[in-house]
C-alpha cells in the first residue's frame, strides 16, 4: 500500500472515530487536502452547475458594492436571487469532497450576505426606511426558507435529540419545525425551550429520567394495549399548560405538531401558533403520539382568555400524526413559505427503504428501480382506493383509508438525516429505553448530522440573513409607531 493510500485510510478512520464535530470537521479538511478535492473546489468550471451565471452574478454584485450603488444592488438581488440559482444546490456537487463546495459558490453566498448587510446599513437619505423594509419583505418571501421536519418513530424518536442537539450547538436550527408522533415530543421541546434550555433538555440523562417508563402495559381487555398515564404525566411535566401562541412568544420558533383524525371524512391537522394559537401543546403532542391500538385517540384542549381549559374541536378525537402527515412539507410551504426541507427520519415504515445517498439516482439500474418503486406505490394506492369503495362497514373503510395514507406519503426531503442500520432495530420501537440505549440513539443522531452541517449552513445562510434583517427592521417600525404623535 502506498504512503498516500495509508494516509487517506488513517484520515477515514479518524472520521469514523471522531468524538466531536470539531474533530470530524478537521478530519474532513485533511481528507480534502490529501485527496485532491481542494483542487476541484478551486476550479470554477463544472458540469454540475452554471458557473458562468454565478461568476457573472458575483461580478455584478461586487461592482455595485464598490460604487456604493445601493439601488442597483437591490435591483440585482431582487431580480435573480433564489435558493438554487445556477443549480448551486445540486446534490451532485456534494460527491466531490467531504466538506465545502466550489470556491465560486461560496464566494457568491458570501457576496450576497455582504450585499444584504450593505443594504441594511445604507444611509436612509439614499434609501428610505420603508423602501428597505419592502425590499427585505419581498426578497425574503421570494427566496423562501428551510424547515426541519421530525418524523414518527416511537422509541427510535430519541435519535431526533442528537440531530437537534447538533443543529442547536451550531446555531443552525431552522425557525420552522414540524414533529409527528415521537417527533412531536422533540418538536414540543423546541417550541417551549430557548437555545440554552435545550442544551440541558437534550441530554441523555434528562430524556431517560422523563421517558424511562413511557410504555406501560394496559392489557388486552382495554381500548388500547398500552396505558397512556406515564406518557401523559411526562408531557405535562415537560409542557404544562403552555399554548402554541405562548410558546412562540417565548422562543420565536414556528413549531407544528401534526395529528390524524380518528374517523373518516377528516384530514390531518397542523397545530401551531397560526392555525391553533390557543391549543395546548401537551394534548397536541399526546394526540400525535397516539399510535393506533397502542394508545387511545385524544380529545384536544385549548386555553381561553381567562385561563380556563376547554375542549378544542369538540366531538372529534385525534391520533398518531405520522399516519397522514409524517412530513407535512406542502402545508408548511403554504403557511410559512418554506421551499427547502431538512428531515430527521426514524419512521420504521420508511427507514428500511431509504439511503443516505447525497446524489440522485443516475445509473440505468438505479433509475429503473426508482421507476418500479413509483409504479408499485401508484398501484398500491389504486388498489386501496378500490377496496375502500367495496368494503361496506365503517371500521374497515377507516383501516384501509389509514393504510392508504401511510403509503401515499413522501418520507424524504432535500437533506435527509437517517439512523445507522445497526440501530434500526424494531425492538426499540415499543420498548422502554435504557440510559445506554438513549445515549446510543443521541450519539447516532449527532454523528448522522455532522456530514450535513456544512451543507445546511450554506443552504440557510442567505435566508436566515434576510429574515434577521427583516425582523430588525420590523422591530424598528414598531418602535417608530410607538413614538408617533396621536
- Point out the residues that are catalytic: 181, 320
Are the C-beta atoms of 189 and 238 separated by less than 8 Å? yes
Residues 6+ apart with CB under 8 A from 482: none
Are the C-beta atoms of 247 and 306 separated by less than 8 Å? no
Reading the block at residue 218, the C-alpha cell is 394496559
Closest CA to 191 of 76, 117, 279: 279
- The alpha carbon dihedral of 370, 376, 378, 381 has a sign of negative
- The alpha carbon dihedral of 386, 390, 392, 393 has a sign of negative
Reading the block at residue 230, the C-alpha cell is 406515564
Q: How far is C-alpha 203 from the chain's CA centre?
A: 20
| CA 462/CA 445 separation, integer angstroms | 26
Determine phi and psi for 92, rounding to 5 degrees.
Answer: -60, -30
Q: CA distances (Å), 431 to each of 155, 211, 456, 470, in order? A: 7, 11, 33, 46
Look-up of cell digits 393504510: 403
Look-up of cell digits 445556477: 86
User: E strands along 395-435, which residues?
Assistant: 415-417
Burial class (CB in 10 A: 0-12, 13-18, 19+), 452: buried
Amino acid at each position: 500500500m502506498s504512503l498516500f493510500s495509508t494516509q487517506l485510510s488513517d484520515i477515514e478512520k479518524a472520521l469514523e472515530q471522531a468524538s466531536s464535530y470539531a474533530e470530524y470537521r478537521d478530519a474532513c479538511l485533511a481528507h480534502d487536502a490529501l485527496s485532491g478535492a481542494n483542487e476541484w473546489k478551486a476550479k470554477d468550471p463544472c458540469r454540475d452547475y452554471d458557473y458562468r451565471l454565478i461568476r457573472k452574478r458575483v461580478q455584478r454584485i461586487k461592482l455595485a458594492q464598490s460604487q456604493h450603488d445601493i439601488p442597483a444592488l437591490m435591483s440585482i438581488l431582487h431580480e435573480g436571487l433564489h435558493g438554487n440559482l445556477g443549480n448551486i444546490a445540486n446534490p451532485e456537487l456534494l460527491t466531490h469532497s467531504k466538506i465545502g463546495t466550489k470556491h465560486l459558490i461560496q464566494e457568491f453566498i458570501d457576496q450576497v450576505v455582504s450585499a444584504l448587510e450593505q443594504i441594511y446599513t445604507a444611509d436612509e437619505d439614499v434609501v428610505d426606511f420603508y423602501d428597505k423594509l419592502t425590499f427585505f419583505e419581498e426578497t425574503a418571501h421570494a427566496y423562501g426558507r428551510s424547515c426541519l421536519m421530525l418524523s414518527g418513530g416511537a422509541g427510535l424518536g430519541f435519535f431526533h435529540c442528537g440531530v437537534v442537539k447538533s443543529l442547536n450547538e451550531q446555531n443552525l436550527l431552522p425557525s420552522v419545525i414540524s414533529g409527528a408522533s415521537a417527533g412531536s415530543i422533540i418538536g414540543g421541546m423546541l417550541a417551549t425551550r430557548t437555545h440554552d434550555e435545550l442544551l440541558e433538555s437534550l441530554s441523555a440523562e434528562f430524556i431517560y429520567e422523563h421517558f424511562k417508563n413511557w410504555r406501560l402495559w394496559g392489557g388486552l381487555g382495554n381500548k388500547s394495549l398500552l396505558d397512556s398515564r406515564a406518557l401523559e404525566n411526562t408531557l405535562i411535566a415537560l409542557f404544562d399548560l403552555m399554548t402554541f401562541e405562548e410558546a412562540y412568544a417565548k422562543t420565536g420558533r414556528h413549531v407544528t405538531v401534526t395529528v390524524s383524525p380518528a374517523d373518516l371524512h377528516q384530514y390531518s391537522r397542523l397545530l401551531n401558533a397560526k392555525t391553533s394559537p390557543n391549543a395546548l401543546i401537551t394534548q397536541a403532542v399526546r394526540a400525535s403520539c397516539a399510535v393506533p391500538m397502542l394508545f387511545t385517540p385524544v380529545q384536544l384542549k385549548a386555553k381561553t382568555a381567562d385561563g380556563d381549559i376547554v375542549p378544542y374541536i369538540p366531538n372529534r378525537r385525534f391520533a398518531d400524526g405520522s399516519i397522514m402527515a409524517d412530513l407535512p412539507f406542502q402545508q408548511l410551504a403554504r403557511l410559512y413559505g418554506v421551499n427547502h426541507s431538512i428531515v430527521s427520519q426514524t419512521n420504521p415504515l420508511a427507514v428500511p427503504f431509504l439511503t443516505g445517498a447525497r446524489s440522485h439516482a443516475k445509473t440505468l439500474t438505479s433509475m429503473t428501480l426508482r421507476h418500479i418503486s413509483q409504479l408499485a406505490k401508484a398501484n398500491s394506492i389504486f388498489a386501496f382506493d378500490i377496496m375502500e369503495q367495496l368494503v361496506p362497514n365503517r371500521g374497515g373503510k377507516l383501516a384501509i383509508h389509514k393504510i392508504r395514507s401511510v403509503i401515499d406519503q413522501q418520507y424524504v426531503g432535500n437533506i435527509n438525516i437517517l439512523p445507522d442500520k445497526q440501530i434500526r432495530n424494531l425492538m426499540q420501537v415499543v420498548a422502554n429505553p435504557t440510559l445506554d440505549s438513549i445515549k446510543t440513539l443521541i450519539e447516532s443522531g449527532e454523528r448522522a448530522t455532522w456530514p450535513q452541517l456544512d451543507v445546511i449552513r450554506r443552504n440557510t445562510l442567505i435566508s436566515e440573513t434576510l429574515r434577521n434583517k427583516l425582523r430588525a427592521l420590523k422591530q424598528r417600525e414598531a418602535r417608530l409607531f410607538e413614538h408617533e404623535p396621536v
